[in-house]
Amino acid sequence: MSTLAINAPALGGTRYKEVKSAILAALAAGEWKGGECIPSEKRLAERFGVSIGTLRKAIDELCAENILIRHQGLGTFVAMHQRDRHFFRFFRIVRRDGDKAYPVVTLIGFRKARASREAAAALGIDTGARVLQFVNGLALHGKTVLIEHITVPEALFPGLTESKLRNRPNTLYNFYQDGFGINVVETDEHVSVALANELESEQLGVALGAPLLEIRRIAYSYHRSAVELRISRLNTEEYEYIGTRAARDDQK
C-alpha cells in the first residue's frame, strides 16, 4: 500500500490541492483500481493529516473532473470507462441532425514501430522509442465516416497484440483500463483540415485528396501523463465534430 502523505505545510486554500495531488499519485500508482471504492473521508483525512473539509474539497474537484464518482450511501469510487456513462465524453462525432450513435469499430491495421519526432513530442518519450500503431475505421449508421490513426508507447501496453486489440470486448479506453491499468481522464484536441490519403479515400468513399476534418488528440492519465496520440480524419458530408464544451454540456 502506498504511504503517500502531505508532509509540508500549505498556505490558505492551497492545502486541498496538495491532497488532490496525493490522491492522484495513489491512483497513478495503482493503489485503487477502476470501479473500486477509495477509503472513507475520515481515513483519508487522517492519512494526509488534514481536516475533513480540506479532504472533501479535494475529492469534490476529482469528482467534478470525472476521476472519482460519489454513490450516495456507498462511498466514493474510482471512475470507470463504462460505455453509457463516459463514451460521449470522448467521442464527439454526431450526425448533422444531432443524432448520436455508438460506432461500429473495425481494426484496419496494427504494427510495431519507432516513435517519430511528432509522436515522441506528443507522448513525452524519446524519438525512436518503441510504439504500437493501429488504424481503426468507425462506422455510424452503417457507413464508415471516421479513420483513426493511433500511437501508444509500447512500454505502457506490454503484451498488446493485434489479436487482443481486435477481440477486445469493450470500448478502447475501457480496454486500456481493464487490460493495462491506464485510466484516460482528460484529452487535448486540436482540429484542422487534411487531405484524404489512399487508405482514407478507399475506406471513407471519398476522392483522393478530398478535404477531411482532422482531429489531433493527446490522451492523458493522472498527472497529465500522455498515453495516446490519436489523429482522426472525418468525412464531414453528413457528420460534424461538436467540440469539448458542447460534449460536456450535453452530459449535464
CATH 3.40.1410.10 occupies which residues in the chain? 83-250
Lowest pLDDT segment from 57-61, 125-129, 132-136, 163-167: 57-61
**Would you say 116 and 127 are in contact if contact means Cβ atoms under 8 Å apart?**
yes
Paired with 152 in beta bridges are 132
State the pLDDT at residue 45.
Answer: 87
Return the C-alpha cell found at 104.
461500429
Which pLDDT band holds residue 189 (cuts at 50, 70, 90)? very high
Hey, what CATH topology would domain 83-250 get?
Chorismate lyase (3.40.1410)
Render pLDDT for 138-156 as a digit per residue (tens, 0 to 9).
999 999 999 999 999 999 9
Render pLDDT for 153-172 as a digit per residue (tens, 0 to 9).
999 999 999 999 999 888 89
Provide the percentage of residues in the chain whose pLDDT is more than 70. 88
Which pLDDT band holds residue 27 (cuts at 50, 70, 90)? confident
CATH 1.10.357.10 assigned to 12-78 = no
Render pLDDT for 55-90 as a digit per residue (tens, 0 to 9).
889 888 888 877 888 888 788 888 776 554 555 567
CATH 1.10.10.10 occupies which residues in the chain? 12-78
State the pLDDT at residue 40.
Answer: 87
State the pLDDT at residue 252.
Answer: 42
Which residue is listed with cell 497529465? 224
The stretch 19-30 carries a mean pLDDT of 82
How far apart CA 252 and CA 239 sit, in angstroms, is 23
State the pLDDT at residue 34.
Answer: 77
